[in-house]
Structure formats: C-alpha cells, structure tokens
Structure 1
Amino acid sequence: MERSETRAPGGPHPVPDLASLDPGYDGYDATTVPTRRWPRGSRPRMTSNRFSGDHCMLTIDIPGRNPLALQNLVLDYNGTIACDGALLPGVAPAVEELRQVLAVHVLTADTFGSAGAQLAPLGVALALIPPGGQAEAKAAFVEKLGADTVVAIGNGANDAAMLARAALGIAVIEGEGAAGAALRAADVVVTDIRHAFDLLLKPLRLKATLRT
C-alpha cells in the first residue's frame, strides 16, 4: 500500500495517513475534508491566539505548567461528539469556531456508518480506524501530528493513550459514560462536550482548573 501524507491546515506537522501506522492492515481509510484558511492579516476572534500569516496557534499560559502551544484538536467521535452516530447539540458551531485557530481531526471506527455525512459540512479531517488496535492507532496519530501541539478529547478506554500523550487531554462524560482509564489519563474531566470546547474558546476557565 502506498503511503501518503497531507498537510494540516496552517501547521508544520503532516496529517498522518493511518495506513502508514500499520502497513499490514488494508482496512484503513483516511479522508481529509478541505478546510478554509484565514486570509493573510485576518485575525481570528480569540485573545489567546497567536497568528502569523496562514499559521494558527492557540497559546495558553497556565501558572505552574509549561505554556500550551496548540495547533491540532483530535476528537473521538461516538461517545464524545456524537451519540448513536449523530452529532450532539452544540458540536457543529463550536467546531466551526475552533477551526479558526486549530486544525480539527476526528478519529473513528464509524460504527454507525454516519461520520462522513455528519462531519462533511464542518470541513474537518476524518480518519477511519480499524476495529482492532484502536488505542495504539489513536496514540500514534497524536504522536505523528506532534503530541506537544495536540489537545485531544475522548471518553473511551481506547482514548486513554492519546489523552495521556497529548499536550492537553480532556475526558468527557456524555450519554455513553466514560471509561475509568480515560478519566485517569486526562488533564481535565467534563460532563458535556460543549464544556470541553468552552475550555478552549474561553481559556481562562482552563487556567482556573489547571493552575497550581
């Protein structure tokens, strides 16, 4: 299988083709939906953002911790931003706003076969992963993007490794619940995906939670 990479919008790290993480598996499918770039000189509406040309970065200084310099948002799908295959309320507008400062990636086995249609209007990068070895595949995806540039959000046991490796890991407890491993691996735990997004859109909340 030929390996390929596409560039994350505005970021120096390539978007990994999941097939390249396990060349022996033929079931991977990675689809990058085109994302818009902000015109040169146009600044997104976030005070914590540092912006230069086409390059976006969300920087958050948290007392007692190394500053976060985030470029990529990696999301689990079912149980995190969707339930029974359908996007949860409030996800679409929040993702649209976050795309102003972060490249957004969604990782899923697409159990309900609906992820592509649900996410197509949002212009995010969708990567389909195989049923086996999901934890390793998700963690490898984060590593290849550059773990120090990633905020990851998930709820499952197979999300724990990526939450631990990302610069910022957020576990969310929605209708499906959350695995204990995910809660232990995360930096922050929330009970609504909209609260997770608000930590990034309103970073003073994140500072209040993580400062030491």
Structure 2
Amino acid sequence: MIIEIPNSETIELKNIVFDYNGTIAIDGELIEGVQTYIDELSSIFDFYVITADTYGSVEQQLQNTKCKVIKIEKDFQDIKKLDFIKKIGSANTLSVGNGRNDRLMLKESILGIGILQDEGICTETLMNSDILVKSIFDVFEFLKNKNRLVATLRN
C-alpha cells in the first residue's frame, strides 16, 4: 500500500507487526474479529505477531490465521522486537503495541501505532507512537481506507 502524505513523505507499507497481549489479544485470548481482518488483508500485507507469549496461548489462538508468529524469549523483549523490525525492513513496516517492550519497535517502524485498550498503554510507548488509537479495529480501518491515515498524518 502506497500512502502519499501531503507536505510530507510517501510511505509504502508491506509489513504489519502486532504485539500480542494488549494489542490483538486480551489476557491471552484473541479479540473476536481480529482473525477475519488479518485473513482479509493478508493478500496486501505480510502480518507478523511478535510476543514472549505470557499466557502460552498465541500459537493455539492464531493457528488458522494468515500471519507468522514470532516467539521471543522473555529477557530483553524490547531489543528483540526492535531487531525484528530492522530485519524485515523498518522503512516498510507498520507496528502496533501498547507495552513498554513495544516502545522501540514503534519508534523504529516507518509508522508506529500505540493502542489504548483494556490493558492501557505505557507512557514511553505512547511517546514513541506516531498515532494513538482506542481499538485494534481502528488499525484495521486504517489499512482498509488509507485516506484515514492521510487525514491523521498530513501537515
């Protein structure tokens, strides 16, 4: 997806990286409707879910979803998420998260979205975000209608 932002840069999004808990899941359970959106948009974007899997449920919850699950060790999660963004290409990656361990990933990505749902958002992560949304479904609507992103990011 090419996003031309008036008086700013043009962004080409290829990768979408989600944190798991607090972003697309609450207390280890995938939020109802998330799978449908990921599957629907998987022909346009490569979806990744990166997590230390606090509840041990990510693989079971996402087993039939068109995304790649990246499990990381519990130590230095922020650095591991940052390294992953660099590996797949930060210039073409939108990332979404809420925890302190997401702050570097959001800052490194061409577009970082902080999400304020049931688990809240870490202030450092908020400050490293380009956009703050109230629901994961707001992110999917951005991906379905790029003019929403343009309206939010234009100068």
Shorter-chain TM-score range: over 0.9
Q: Match of 1:13?
A: none
TM (norm. structure 1) is 0.72
What is aligned with 2:122? 179
**Inter-partner Cα distance in structure 1 for 2:41 and 2:114:** 18
User: Residue type matched to 1:94 in 2?
Assistant: Y
Q: Secondary structure at the match of 2:73?
A: coil
* Number of the residue aligned with 2:137: 194
What displacement does 1:89 show?
2.2
1:93 equivalent in alignment to 2:36: yes
| 1:189 positional shift | 0.3
Say whether 1:146 aligns with 2:89.
Answer: yes
Q: Tell me, which stretches of 5 or more residues in structure 2 are unaligned?
A: none
Q: Which has the higher helix share?
A: 2
Query: For each residue in 1:40-71, what CA deviation from the matched residue of structure 2 results, as whole angstroms up to 9, or x when unmatched?
Result: xxxxxxxxxxxxxxxxxx11111122111111
Aligned position for 1:131: 74
Letter in 1 for 2:154: R
What's the secondary structure of 1:112's corresponding residue? coil
> Per the alignment, in what secondary structure is the counterpart of residue 112 of structure 2?
strand
- Tell which structure's C-alpha radius of gyration is larger: 1
CA-CA distance at 1:176 after TM superposition: 0.3
Determine the C-alpha separation between the residues in 2 that align with 1:62 and 1:100.
23
Within a 5 Å distance, the mapping from 1:13-32 to structure 2 comes to: none
Deviation at 1:96, TM superposition (A): 1.1
Write out the 4+ residue segments of structure 1 that deviate beyond 6 Å after TM superposition.
Answer: none
- Counterpart in the other structure of 1:9: none
Give the whole-Å Cα distance in 1 for the aligned partners of 2:64 and 2:91: 28
Q: Which has the higher contact order (CA 8 A, sep 6+)?
A: 2
Structure 1: distance between partners of 2:12 and 2:70: 23
The alpha carbon displacement at 1:111 in A equals 1.1
1:167 paired residue among 110, 114, 135: 110
Q: Is the Cα–Cα contact under 8 Å of residues 19 and 97 in structure 2 kept in the other structure?
A: yes
How far has the Cα of 1:186 moved from its partner? 0.7
> Match for 1:204: what amino acid?
N
Aligned CA RMSD, in angstroms, stands at 0.8
Counterpart amino acid of residue 178 in structure 1: I
TM-score using structure 2 length: 0.97
Alignment counterpart, residue 51 of structure 2, candidates 102, 108, 113: 108
* CA displacement 1:4-59 (0-9 Å, x = unmatched): xxxxxxxxxxxxxxxxxxxxxxxxxxxxxxxxxxxxxxxxxxxxxxxxxxxxxx11
Unaligned residue ranges in structure 1 (runs of 5+): 1-57
1:73 maps to 2:16: yes
The match for 2:7 among 56, 64, 68 is 64
Question: How many residues end up aligned between the 2 structures?
Answer: 155
- What amino acid does structure 1 have at the position aligned with 2:139? A
